[in-house]
């Protein structure tokens, strides 16, 4: 029977009537709070006078009646229409968790492992394609402005050159000095058993001119500069500043990427040269203190035994490494989706990718040069 909801205890039974709908939900909730204690498990329930019913009212009725009465609802309320009985049973099943989706079948470990390997390979392939595409975009933008000095961003170039190059000189010089000292000490320790301690000079010079100078510098730049590029561009992407640049009719690649690429192309060869000198100075200090090889003798051995081509091999790798580090750092910055977590993830990804690419290319170059006799 339609009308305001009613809940009355008459004798040994509970009589429920009226409309149990969302419009009366607040009133019903307050009235039910005081009836739960009085509704004993054995008390009968009369639903013959129940009027309109929706899911909100059905949820209150299910909560009031309890699981035992709901299980025997067809017997307790035989006059209840079939559609309301079905609604109450569906709401009861949902509240009891019976409507949850069954758990997905468990996959075997080999299948999961193969699926993850496949996903990783696909991700690597997509990342490689994106990097190649961005390299092509950067090269085309470089070619477009090289012959147009009016479009050069000199101020931005100088600022990034200071951040990427000048500010990195102390850490690069200190690290390579210490590594040079360690290499000289290890070489002296091993070569002394063969009476060939003089070749410690050759060991230090070869390692820093061909490999350690450029490799250590590139790894430092990958951790220091590529991460900075990603964080800077990623923050601009998160703040929608890159969209504003496009709205103004400017190219984000020309405005943000090229100054950073040119700055690192200039800075990394200079830092590599400083790293070579610092590493050999570190070796000279160890030779002077532990092997009684004076600085004059150290320089004389360098002139006699070390050819110019070793220096050219090392310094020739620097521009390639610089270009790839800058491009990877900028590309990962453009991939930021807008959250602080995304900025952190892309910054980490740029450092890992840069270091991996640098070491991979250095290994390939070392094998190639060894084969051609350089």
Q: Which residues pair with 6 in a beta bridge?
A: 17
Please give the pLDDT value at position 3.
65
End-of-domain residue from the set 95, 111, 131: 95
Asked whether residue 286 falls in the same domain as residue 351, the answer is yes
Of 361, 260, 370, 289, the residue nearest 318 (C-alpha):
361
In the chain, the number of structural domains is 2
Asked whether residue 136 falls in the same domain as residue 255, the answer is yes
Asked whether residue 209 falls in the same domain as residue 85, the answer is no
Interval 39-76: pLDDT, tens: 655 566 777 677 777 777 778 777 777 766 777 676 66
Query: Which tokens belong to 51?
Result: 């009027």
Task: Pick 212 or 106 by higher pLDDT.
Answer: 212
Please give the pLDDT value at position 197.
81
Residue 117 lies in a domain: no
Give the CATH number for residue 70.
Answer: 3.30.750
Please give the pLDDT value at position 281.
93
Please give the pLDDT value at position 98.
52
Please give the pLDDT value at position 13.
67
Please give the pLDDT value at position 173.
94
Asked whether residue 168 falls in the same domain as residue 276, the answer is yes
Query: Which range in 185-189, 301-305, 319-323 is most confidently predicted, on average pLDDT?
Result: 319-323
Residue 204 lies in a domain: yes
Residue 109 lies in a domain: no
Asked whether residue 80 falls in the same domain as residue 144, the answer is no
Residues 121, 127: Cα–Cα separation, whole Å: 10
The pLDDT of 34-40, averaged and rounded, is 61
Of 115, 98, 359, the residue nearest 222 (C-alpha):
359
| Domain housing 298 | 122-371
Least confident of 47-51, 157-161, 287-291: 47-51
Please give the pLDDT value at position 153.
85
Query: Which tokens belong to 205?
Result: 């010079």
Asked whether residue 53 falls in the same domain as residue 139, the answer is no
End-of-domain residue from the set 95, 110, 140: 95
Please give the pLDDT value at position 51.
73
Residues 293, 55: Cα–Cα separation, whole Å: 92
Residue 105 lies in a domain: no
Residue 110 lies in a domain: no
Please give the pLDDT value at position 264.
93
Alpha helices for the chain (secondary structure H) = 25-33, 55-71, 73-76, 82-95, 109-145, 154-164, 169-191, 199-206, 213-221, 227-238, 241-247, 252, 258-290, 295-305, 308-334, 340-371
Residue 112 lies in a domain: no
Asked whether residue 197 falls in the same domain as residue 335, the answer is yes
Asked whether residue 134 falls in the same domain as residue 181, the answer is yes
The whole-model pTM stands at 0.69
* pLDDT greater than 90 at residue 32: no
Asked whether residue 220 falls in the same domain as residue 80, the answer is no
Asked whether residue 75 falls in the same domain as residue 209, the answer is no
* pLDDT greater than 70 at residue 1: no
Residues 349, 338: Cα–Cα separation, whole Å: 16
* pLDDT greater than 70 at residue 16: yes
End-of-domain residue from the set 95, 111, 143: 95
Residue 145 lies in a domain: yes
Asked whether residue 136 falls in the same domain as residue 283, the answer is yes
Please give the pLDDT value at position 303.
87
Asked whether residue 179 falls in the same domain as residue 80, the answer is no
Share of the chain above pLDDT 70, in %: 89
The pLDDT of 232-243, averaged and rounded, is 86
Least confident of 83-97, 325-339, 359-373: 83-97
Residue 194 lies in a domain: yes
Residues 287, 184: Cα–Cα separation, whole Å: 7
């Amino acid at each position: 029977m339609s009308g305001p909801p009613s809940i009355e205890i008459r004798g040994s039974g509970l009589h429920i009537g009226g409309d149990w709908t969302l419009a009366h939900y607040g009133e019903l909730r307050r009235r039910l709070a005081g009836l739960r204690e009085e509704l004993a498990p054995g008390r009968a329930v009369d639903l013959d006078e129940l009027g309109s019913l929706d899911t909100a009212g059905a949820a209150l009725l299910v909560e009031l009646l309890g699981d035992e009465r709901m299980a025997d609802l067809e017997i307790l309320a035989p006059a209840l229409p079939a559609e309301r009985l079905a609604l109450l049973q569906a709401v009861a099943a949902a509240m009891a968790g019976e409507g949850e989706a069954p758990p997905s079948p468990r996959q075997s470990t080999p299948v999961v492992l193969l699926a993850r390997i496949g996903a990783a390979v696909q991700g690597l392939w997509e990342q490689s394609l994106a990097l190649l595409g961005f390299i092509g975009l950067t090269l085309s933008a470089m070619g477009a402005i090289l012959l147009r000095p009016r479009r050069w961003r000199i101020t931005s170039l100088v600022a990034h050159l200071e951040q990427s190059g000048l500010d990195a000189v102390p850490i690069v010089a200190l690290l390579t000095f210490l590594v040079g000292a360690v290499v000289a000490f290890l070489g002296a320790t091993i070569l002394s058993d063969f009476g060939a301690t003089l070749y410690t000079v050759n060991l230090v010079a070869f390692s820093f001119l061909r490999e350690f100078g450029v490799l250590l510098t590139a790894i430092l730049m990958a951790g220091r500069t590529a991460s900075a590029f990603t964080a800077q561009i990623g923050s601009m992407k998160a703040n929608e500043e890159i969209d504003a640049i496009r709205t103004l009719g400017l190219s984000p690649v020309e405005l943000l990427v090229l100054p950073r690429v040119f700055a690192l192309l200039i800075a990394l060869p200079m830092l590599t040269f400083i790293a070579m000198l610092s590493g050999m100075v570190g070796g000279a200090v160890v030779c002077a203190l532990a092997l009684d090889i004076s600085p004059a003798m150290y320089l004389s051995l360098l002139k006699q035994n070390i050819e110019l081509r070793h220096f050219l091999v090392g310094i020739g790798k620097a521009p390639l490494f610089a270009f790839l580090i800058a491009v990877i750092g900028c590309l990962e910055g453009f991939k930021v989706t807008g959250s602080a977590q995304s900025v952190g993830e892309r910054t980490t990804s740029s450092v890992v990718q840069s270091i991996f690419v640098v070491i991979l290319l250095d290994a390939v170059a070392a094998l190639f040069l060894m084969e051609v006799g350089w």
